[in-house]
Amino acid sequence: MALLQTYNLDGGESGSIELEDRFFDIPLNEALLKEVYVALSANEREVIAHTKGRGERAGSGKKPWKQKHTGRARAGSVRSPLWRKGGVVFGPKNTRNFSKKVNKKAKQKAFSIAMSEKLRRNQMKVLDSFELSQPKTKLVASALQKLGVSEKSLVLGFLSSEKSFERAGQNIALLTSRSAHTLNVKDILDHHFLLMSREGIQHIQDRMRLSAKEL
């Protein structure tokens, strides 16, 4: 069992929490992390770029002029790619699919590796509670400064019962909030620090334990 130090909102040490080695002491596997990270990034990608082909352009379907004896090149449609305002050949389409599939077991192991690395590098901070005396941004900013995590990018993993803390921190520039239910490898690797409550990290551990049983 690994012991992780816990803190209060004043930045002082308040105790520790036990984390299971099978989830939080996994050796680094950069290839697996990259595979899962790339897949998650691809699955979030929005396909926006789109060009119209000749079938999508507006214009008459009538042949512009007869085939022969005009002295001009043959033409069958004003929507031809050769014409101004015609369709585009081989342009990007919004029907493209960039999604990638990753096995559930690989995704779960990559998540454990990412959490283990945060723990090994002392980049995971756990608070006893996210309960504020008042739901004010300055209180959250003060707590982050006292914890020594205000100068780097930070992802906050919160539970539904901790939404007041999450809302109070929405205007802090380097802080990104993610639900502990959906926290993934990309969220962890995209940020320098991970901040959670004691209850939140326990939820993550329970989630890992349940996933391990299902595999």
According to the model, what pLDDT value does residue 189 have? 97
- Model pTM score: 0.85
- Share the mean pLDDT of the chain: 93
Which pLDDT score, from 0 to 100, does residue 85 have? Answer: 92
Q: How far apart are CA 156 and CA 159, in angstroms?
A: 10
User: Which amino acid type is present at position 128?
Assistant: D
Separation between Cα atoms, residue 208 and residue 196, nearest integer Å: 16
Phi-psi region of 49 (alpha: psi -120 to 50; beta: other; left: phi over 0): beta
- Residue 7 in 3-state DSSP? strand
pLDDT, one tens digit per residue, over 61-108 is: 899 999 999 999 999 999 999 999 999 999 999 999 999 999 999 999
CB atoms within 10 A of CB 154: 22
pLDDT at position 80 is 94
Give the distance between the most distant pair of CA atoms in the chain. Answer: 93
To which residue do tokens 């901790």 refer?
A: 162
**How many residues are listed for the chain in this entry?**
215
What's the pLDDT score for residue 87? 95
Place 15 in a pLDDT band, splitting at 50, 70 and 90. confident
Q: How far apart are CA 112 and CA 109, in angstroms?
A: 5
Partners of 170 in beta bridges: none
Tens of pLDDT, residues 96-143: 999 999 999 999 999 999 999 999 999 999 999 999 999 999 999 999
Q: For domain 2-45+99-214, which architecture applies?
A: 3-Layer(aba) Sandwich (3.40)
Q: In this structure, are residues 65 and 74 in contact, taking their beta carbons and an 8 Å threshold?
A: no
**Position of tokens 């352009």?**
57
Decide: 34 and 156 in contact? Cβ < 8 Å.
Answer: no
Q: Which two tokens stand for residue 194?
A: 């991970």
- Residue ranges, comma separated, of all CATH 3.40.1370.10 domains in the chain are 2-45+99-214
User: Are the beta carbons of 44 and 190 closer than 8 angstroms?
Assistant: no
Contacts of 113 (CB under 8 A, 6+ apart): 26, 27, 28, 29, 32, 33
